[in-house]
Amino acid sequence: MKPLILVSNDDGITSKGILTLINVMKTMGEVIVVAPNSPQSGMGHAITVGETLRLEENFIFDGVKAFECSGTPADCVKMARHFVLKDARQPDIVVSGVNHGSNTSISVLYSGTMSAAIEGAIEGTPAIGFSLADFGHDADFSHTEAYIRKITQQVLDRGLPKGVALNVNFPPKRNEPLKGVRICRQANAKWVEDFDVRVDPNGRRYFWMVGNFVNFDKGEDNDEWAIANNYVAVVPVQFDLTAHQAIPVLNEEWEIV
C-alpha cells in the first residue's frame, strides 16, 4: 500500500514551494493537502481558539485532494487529522513547505512551516519541514527535489525517534551543485530587532519591525554553516522545551521549600 502523505505549509496553498513539494510527494505515495488559504509566515505554533475556522476544498492540484483552511499551519494539521481524515486512514508522514526563506537557527521558533511539522510529531506521526534560503516569490526550487525525495524516503523507511521532527533547510540555487547533507545542530544566532516609528495619513503613530539576523556561532556543525557552505542542513527538533540540564541546578541552588 502506498504511504499516505499529508502536505501543508505556511506560505499558503497557492505558493510555488508547496507545488514543488506536492509534485515530489506524488511520486512517492497518496497525497492529501490541507494548507492555509493565505500566507501565515511567522505564526509559530499558534492555533485558532477565539475565531471560527473555515475549510474549503480546492481543485488547483491535478489528481490531488486538497483543502484550504482559514487558520494557521498548526490548525491545518489538526483539521486534517481530526476532520478531513477523521473516519479514514491517518497519514504515514507529514511534510511541510517548501518554505520561501530559511528556517535555520532561532527562526524555527517563529516558523509556521515547522509548526505544521511539529504538530505532526505531537500526534505521533513522522514529520519534516522543508525550507529554501530564498525569499523570492519566483525562487528556483529545482535543486531541492532529489534531496526532498531522499530524505522523505529515509523517514518513511526508518521512522524518527518519538517526539522528533526534521528541520531541513536548503541553500539557494547556485552555479555549483549541492555538496550533500549535513546532520547538524541549530546555530547560536538571533534576530537583533528594532521598531521603525512611522505616522499614517491621519497623524496616528504606528510601528514597523525591522532588524538584522546575527550569527554568533563559529562552529562548523550547525545549520547556518551548512547553508553557507552549500550543504542541505538537517536538524532534528523536538517539542519538549524542558531545559533538563537546569533541573538539578535549580534543585541544588534555589532556596524554595
| pLDDT per residue as tens digits for the range 188-198 | 999 888 999 99
Q: 184 Cβ partners below 8 Å, 6+ apart?
A: 221, 222, 223, 225, 226, 233, 234, 235
Cell numbers found for residue 163: 517526539
Environment class of residue 212 by beta-carbon count within 10 Å: exposed (0-12), middle (13-18) or buried (19+)? exposed
Confirm if 8 and 96 have CB atoms less than 8 A apart. Answer: yes
Q: Mean pLDDT over residues 18-42, rounded? A: 96
Confirm if 32 and 58 have CB atoms less than 8 A apart. Answer: no
* Spatial distance between the Cα atoms of 174 and 139, rounded to a whole number of angstroms: 12
- Give the whole-number percent of the chain exceeding pLDDT 90: 89
* Spatial distance between the Cα atoms of 113 and 100, rounded to a whole number of angstroms: 10
Beta strands in the chain (DSSP E): 4-8, 30-36, 55-58, 65-69, 93-100, 127-132, 164-170, 181-183, 189-199, 205-215, 232-238
Q: Phi/psi of residue 124, each to 5°?
A: 85, 15
Instruction: State which amino acid sits at residue 20.
Output: T
Assign 35 a pLDDT band (cuts: 50, 70, 90).
Answer: very high
Assign 213 a pLDDT band (cuts: 50, 70, 90).
Answer: confident
Q: Tell me, what's the pLDDT at 143?
A: 97
Given a cut of 80, whether residue 257 has pLDDT beyond it is no
Q: Tell me, what's the pLDDT at 225?
A: 98
51-100 pLDDT, tens digit per residue, is 999 999 999 999 999 999 999 999 999 999 999 999 899 999 999 999 99
Assign 170 a pLDDT band (cuts: 50, 70, 90).
Answer: very high
36-47 pLDDT, tens digit per residue, is 999 888 889 999
Confirm if 124 and 95 have CB atoms less than 8 A apart. Answer: no
Q: Tell me, what's the pLDDT at 42?
A: 85
Give the pTM: 0.94
Q: Tell me, what's the pLDDT at 132?
A: 98
Q: Return mean pLDDT, the chain.
A: 95
Cell numbers found for residue 102: 530559511
CA nearest 46: which of 81, 17, 82, 10? Answer: 10
How are beta strands 93-100 and 127-132 bridged, if at all? parallel
CATH 1.20.140.10 describes domain 4-187+218-253: no
Q: Mean pLDDT over residues 161-171, rounded? A: 97
Q: 71 Cβ partners below 8 Å, 6+ apart?
A: 36, 47, 48, 53, 79
